[in-house]
């Protein structure tokens, strides 16, 4: 029976598919770490209290990148280059979602509008990350090889998502609600398209590595398209609603370390 659990188990059990999966994940997390680090350094004076939380977010993403790389090396393997069509972070930037890297490489302070864009982008992408990690945690939390990594990263992603809700609600309360809602919707609609395309590309690479029959690949592709249609016609709202989280000040302390993965 084809299921998320059986599919991922197949990927984990094969060295080549596993290292491709972890390489893609490590690259995206490391890129997110760099982006958040630059944003923390460029926060406008009016939002300086936010800088430590953004820095914590970046430190968590860096840690996740190291964890995925360590999982590869523990099998005696090396990371592989990320195929361009599977590069979620790069493709989002090309769609104009989030803050452009050229903007982050400059030394000029960001504006409050930039911070709204950053938080809205994070709200959408962290929802995706939290959902994916919740699925992995459900099926692989006790897996001997990846269980500890899954639990740790999932906990962090839940914190990141809670943080974006809380900060966007704070800004909404002081008069930025309209621009926040518009930015959230724009980000969500673009992210869904990118996620669909990246998922199709990743599954194509996995199918080639694992020798999937055409029927299986076609069924998986149909499922990815079905998810996109569901999200496009209403499911996107889970990425744009804002509710005060149970976890308040989720990024208020230092990043947790993961020495066993370093």
Roughly what angle, to the nearest 10 degrees, separates helices 177-210 and 112-140?
A: 40
pLDDT at 254: 72
State the average pLDDT for the chain. 95
pLDDT digits (tens, 9 = 90+) for 82-96: 999 999 999 999 998
> How confident is residue 3, by pLDDT bands cut at 50, 70 and 90?
confident
Query: Residue 56: what pLDDT?
Result: 97
* Residue whose structure tokens are 């809602």: 181
- State the Cα–Cα distance between residues 158 and 63, nearest whole angstrom: 15
Give the residue from 136, 150, 181 showing the smallest Cα distance to 68: 150
Computed over its alpha carbons, how large is the radius of gyration of the chain? 18
The rounded distance, in Å, linking the Cα atoms of 123 and 117 is 10
What does the DSSP assignment read for 102-139? HHHHS-SPP-HHHHHHHHHHHHHHHHHHHHHHHHHHHH
Q: For residue 4, what pLDDT is reported?
A: 87
Looking at residue 262, the DSSP 8-state letter turns out to be -
Q: For residue 38, is pLDDT > 60?
A: yes
At 257 the pLDDT is 73
Extents of the domains making up the chain: 4-261
pLDDT band at 122 (very low <50, low <70, confident <90, very high): very high
pLDDT for residue 16 is more than 90: yes
pLDDT at 259 (0 to 100) = 62
| Position 47 pLDDT exceeds 60 | yes
Class of domain 4-261: mainly alpha
Structure tokens, 123 = 């709200």
CA atoms of 188 and 240, how far apart (whole Å): 7
What angle do the packed helices 177-210 and 147-171 form, to 10 degrees?
Answer: 160
């Amino acid at each position: 029976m084809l299921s998320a659990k059986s599919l991922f188990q197949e990927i984990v059990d094969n060295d080549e598919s596993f290292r491709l999966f972890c390489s893609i994940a490590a690259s995206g997390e490391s890129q997110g770490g760099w982006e958040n680090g630059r944003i923390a350094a460029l926060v406008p004076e009016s939002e300086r209290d936010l800088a430590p939380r953004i820095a914590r977010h970046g430190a968590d993403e860096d840690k996740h990148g190291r964890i995925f790389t360590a999982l590869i090396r523990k099998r005696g393997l090396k990371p592989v280059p990320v195929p361009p069509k599977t590069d979620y972070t790069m493709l989002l930037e090309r769609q104009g979602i989030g803050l452009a890297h050229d903007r982050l490489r400059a030394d000029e302070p960001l504006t409050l509008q930039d911070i709204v864009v950053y938080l809205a982008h994070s709200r959408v992408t962290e929802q995706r990350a939290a959902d994916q990690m919740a699925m992995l945690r459900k099926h692989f939390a006790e897996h001997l090889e990846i269980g500890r990594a899954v639990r740790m990263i999932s906990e962090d992603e839940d914190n990141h998502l809670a943080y974006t809700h809380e900060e966007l609600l704070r800004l909404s309360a002081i008069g930025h609600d309209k621009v926040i809602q518009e930015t959230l919707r724009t980000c969500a609609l673009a992210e869904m398209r990118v996620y669909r395309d990246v998922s199709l590309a990743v599954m194509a690479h996995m199918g080639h590595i694992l020798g999937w029959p055409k029927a299986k690949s076609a069924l998986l592709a149909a499922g990815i398209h079905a998810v996109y249609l569901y999200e496009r016609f209403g499911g996107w709202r889970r990425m744009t609603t804002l509710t005060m989280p149970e976890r308040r000040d989720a990024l208020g302390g230092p990043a947790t370390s993961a020495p066993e993965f370093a």
